[in-house]
Amino acid sequence: MAVVRSLRRRRVVLAWLLRFVVLVAVVVTWKVAPLSVLTRQADDAEIESYDASYDLDADGSLLVTETVVVDLPAGKRGIFRVFDTADPRRPDVTHPVRVESVTRDGRVEPWIWNDSAPGTQTIRIGDEDEFIGPGEFTYQIVSRTVGATEPASLGGGRDGEVAWWWDVVGSGWSMPMETARVTASLPAVPRTVECVQGVDTPCRAQQDGASFTLTTGPLAPFTPVTVRTTFPEGALPVPPGSAGLPVLPFILLAVLAGAGAALGLWLATRERQPGFPVLFEPPEGIGPATGVRVLQEEDAVDDLQATLFDLGARGAVELRSTGDGWMVDLIADPATLEIPEDGRAVLDGLRLDQVGDAFAVKKTVSSGSRISTTLSSLRSRVAVTAAPYLERSWAGVLGRFLVQASIAAVIGAAVLWLGWARRVPWPLLLGVAAFALVGAGLAVDRSVLTTHSAAGRDLWSRVGGFARFLSTESSESRFDAAAHADWYPRYLGWATALGVADAWAARFEVQGVDVSEVGYVSGVGPHGTFTSSDLRGSIASAISGASATYAASVSSSSSGGGFSGGSGGGGGGGGSW
C-alpha cells in the first residue's frame, strides 16, 4: 500500500539521519579536541628557557624540578602552572600532584591552588596585590606525583615490560619556549628511549645508562615533548592492578549488549500483519482519518483535506474555488446525515453548524488560526475514536523512551567533551551508541507506541483491503470504471488519506472516464478544469498557506594507538597572569 510504503520510507530516512548524528557525536568525542584547546590563545609572555629534572622511582613515584625563566611584560603578577592528573590510557588511575616548593629568583614565592578543569590541578603563583613586570624572572617549582609507570602492553608494547610514557614538556604551555632541556634519572637501564616533539616530529634523547638528556626548541605555544621509555621484563615491578582487564573486551561486550537490547525491544514492538483481502468499500461508520490512523498507527498527512472530501461525498459540504483560496459551504443539516466522528470534528472546528454557513480557506491569520484549531480537534477526535482499536504498547513506550534517551546521552557526551573536556567512559558510551544505532527506528516510529486489539486487527485488515482496491492498477483487475464512475468522488477522501489518490484517478482515466468534475467541487482550475492532482494540490496549498500565515504571526509575536606527542601522562602547562 502506497501510504504505508511512503511512511516507511520517511521513517527509514529519519532513522538513518539519527544514526548519522549518533556516529558524528561518537567521532567528535573520539577525534575532536575540546573547545578549550581549539580556541586557546598564546600568552604574551615568553619562556626564555625551560629546564625540567625528573627523578623516577621503581614504584612509579616521580619527583619533578622545573626551572622556568620567563620574560613577563608589564602588568603581570606572576605565572600559573597546570598539572595533568588524568591518565590517558587508564581511566582508573590518576596522578595527584603535591607541590613541595615554589621560588622566584631564589626566594620563596606565594602560591595557591586555583580552580581547575577536570583531570587537572592548577596553582597560581604570585601576589594578587603586586605587579612584578616587565622583566625576566626565574621560577622553580618542585612537585611530586605517583603512578607514573604503566604496563608497556597498554601502549602496544611487550607483555611483562614496564613503560614510562610522559609529556616531559606539557602541551598546555601557552607561552612560546626558546629552549627546553630535560634530564631524567631512571630506576633501571631502559631498553628503549623514544622522543617526539609536537605530534609526529622526532627528537633525540642522549641516553647514559639509567639516565637521559634531551634538548629541543624553540617550541611554539601548546607544543608538547613526549618521551616513552620502556624497561625490560623483570627490571621493574609491573604496577599493581594497572594491567587489570583490557578495555577492548568491555567495549565489545557493551556494544553487543546495547545492540542486542535494542534488537530485542524492536522485535517486541513488531506486530504480525493481517491479510488484506481486496474490499470494494470502506469500513462502515469509519471516516478516512480514523481508518488511516488504525492502519498505520499514525495520523494521515492529508487528514483534513481527506475529511473535507469525505464530507462532500456525504452531501454535507460543497467546496468552491475563489481564485485566491477555497470556500467550504455547509449545504445540508449534519444531523440528518450519517457523518463519522472525524467529519463532525471538522464541521465543529470550522464552525459550520447551520445550512448556509461557510468558511474561507485563504492566506489570512484568522483563517489559519481556525484551520490550526480544526486540525488539532480532528486529530484529538480521531485518537478517541481509534482508542478501542489501538492499545498502549508498553514495550514500545519503553523502547522509544530508552532510544531517544540514548541518542540524547551520546550527543550530551560529545557536548560535555567539547565544552568541558570530561573524561569519556568508552565502554559505556559505545554500548549506549550501539543501542541508539540499532534502535533508531523506534525513535521515529510512533506506531510502536500502540498495538492493535482484536477489533483493531479486523479493522486494520479491512482498511488495508480497501486501500488495495483503490490502488490496484486497472490492468490487474476486472474493475469497470464506466459502470462505477460515481465511486471516484465518493472514495476520493479515502484515496487522499491513504496516499493513493493518483492511482485511484488513474484507474478511471485509463478506461476513458473523465474525473475532472467532482459533484461537490465547483470553480475553475488552473487548466480550465480541475484534474485530480490540480484539485488536491490547490486545496492542500490553500490549507498550508493559511496555516503558514498563522504560524508566522505566532512566531513573530513570541520570538526572543601509535606513539605520538601529547599521548603521555603528566605534562600540563601554564601561562602568565
CA 205 → CA 63, 162, 166, 208, 336, distances in Å?
20, 19, 14, 10, 98
C-alpha cell at 307: 475529511
Whether the bond between 218 and the residue before it is cis, its omega within 30 degrees of 0, is yes
Give the Cα separation of 186 and 146 in Å (integer).
Answer: 14
- Determine the 3-state secondary structure of 8 from DSSP: helix
Find the largest Cα–Cα distance for the chain: 109
Closest CA to 89 of 26, 137, 154: 154
CA dist 562 and 211 (Å) reads 24
pLDDT at 541: 86
- Residues in the chain, pLDDT under 70: 1-7, 36-39, 240-247, 421-423, 473-478, 524-530, 554-566
pLDDT of residue 419: 77
Residue located via cell numbers 486489539: 453
Please answer whether residues 23 and 437 qualify as being in contact, where contact means their C-beta atoms are separated by less than 8 angstroms. yes
Give the pLDDT of residue 552: 79
Residue 190 near residue 58 (C-beta atoms within 8 A): no
| Non-local CB neighbours of 176 within 8 Å, separated by 6+ positions | 42, 46, 47, 218, 219, 220, 221
Q: Which residue has the cell 491479510?
A: 275
CB 542 within 8 A of CB 362: yes
- Report the distance separating Cα 450 and Cα 294, nearest Å: 10
CATH class of the domain whose range is 44-237: mainly beta
CA-closest candidate to residue 574, choices 99, 63, 93: 99
Indicate whether this model's pTM tops 0.75.
Answer: no
